[in-house]
C-alpha cells in the first residue's frame, strides 16, 4: 500500500505499482466508442497516464499535456485512464481537440486500478484511481513508474518521456 496525500491529508492506495522490469498485467478497459480494449490491442511503447477524473483541473491538464507531447514521440501511444464514463472522455476530447491519446475507462469494475495497486482506498476520492504514470516498452515491460505523491500535483512529464529516448 502506498501513502500519498490529497491537499496535504494522507490517503492510501490498495497496493504498490508494478516494478520496473516486470511485465505489465493485461487489462480490459472501455474506449470512448464503448469497445473493450486490452493490453494486447496496443503495439509499440505505451505511456499509461492514470488519474482520478477529467473533471478536475490537474487531470485535464495531464491529458492536454500528454496529447501535446505524444505527437513528438515515435512508436509510442499514450493511454489516458480514469474511472470516468467513456462519454465523459469523449466529451472532453471533442471539446478540447484531444486527438493524439487514447482515452480508456475503468468504470465497469475498477479491476485495472486494483490490479495495478493504484486505487485510492480512503479519503474523499476513495474508489478512484490515484495519479500515476507507467511507461511500458515494446515488450510490455515496465520501464518507468511514478506514483505522484500529492493528488493535486501534475506528474513529471519530462521524466516519463526521457525513458523513451
Q: Which domains does the chain have, with CATH numbers?
A: 3-162 (3.40.30.10)
Quote the pLDDT of residue 24.
98
Q: What is the dihedral of CA 64, 102, 81, 27, to 10 degrees?
A: -160
Residue 163 CB neighbour total at 10 angstroms = 13
E-strand stretches of the chain: 3-6, 9-12, 28-31, 36-38, 45-50, 76-82, 101-105, 132-136, 142-147
Q: Indicate which residues carry an active-site annotation.
A: 59
The kind and range of the H/E element at 114 are: helix 111-115
pLDDT along the chain (165 residues), means of 10: 92 96 97 96 95 78 78 87 92 83 94 97 96 96 96 91 90
Q: Which residue, 83, 141, 137, 134, is CA-closest to 112? A: 83
- The pTM score is 0.93
Quote the pLDDT of residue 101.
87
Amino acid at each position: 500500500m502506498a501513502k500519498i496525500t490529497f491537499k496535504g491529508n494522507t490517503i492510501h492506495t490498495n497496493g504498490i505499482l508494478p516494478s520496473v522490469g516486470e511485465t505489465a498485467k493485461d487489462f480490459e478497459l472501455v474506449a470512448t466508442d464503448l469497445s473493450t480494449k486490452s493490453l494486447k490491442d496496443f503495439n509499440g511503447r505505451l505511456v499509461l497516464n492514470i488519474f482520478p477524473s477529467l473533471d478536475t483541473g490537474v487531470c485535464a491538464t495531464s491529458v492536454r499535456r500528454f496529447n501535446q507531447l505524444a505527437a513528438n514521440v515515435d512508436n509510442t501511444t499514450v493511454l489516458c485512464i480514469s474511472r470516468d464514463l467513456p462519454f465523459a472522455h469523449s466529451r472532453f476530447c471533442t471539446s478540447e481537440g484531444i486527438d493524439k491519446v487514447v482515452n480508456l475507462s475503468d468504470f465497469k469494475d475498477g479491476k485495472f486500478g486494483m490490479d495495478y495497486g493504484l486505487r485510492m482506498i480512503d479519503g474523499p476520492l476513495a474508489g478512484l484511481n490515484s495519479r500515476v504514470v507507467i511507461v511500458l516498452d515494446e515488450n510490455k515491460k515496465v520501464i518507468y513508474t511514478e506514483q505522484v505523491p500529492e493528488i493535486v500535483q501534475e506528474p513529471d512529464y519530462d521524466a516519463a518521456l526521457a525513458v523513451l529516448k
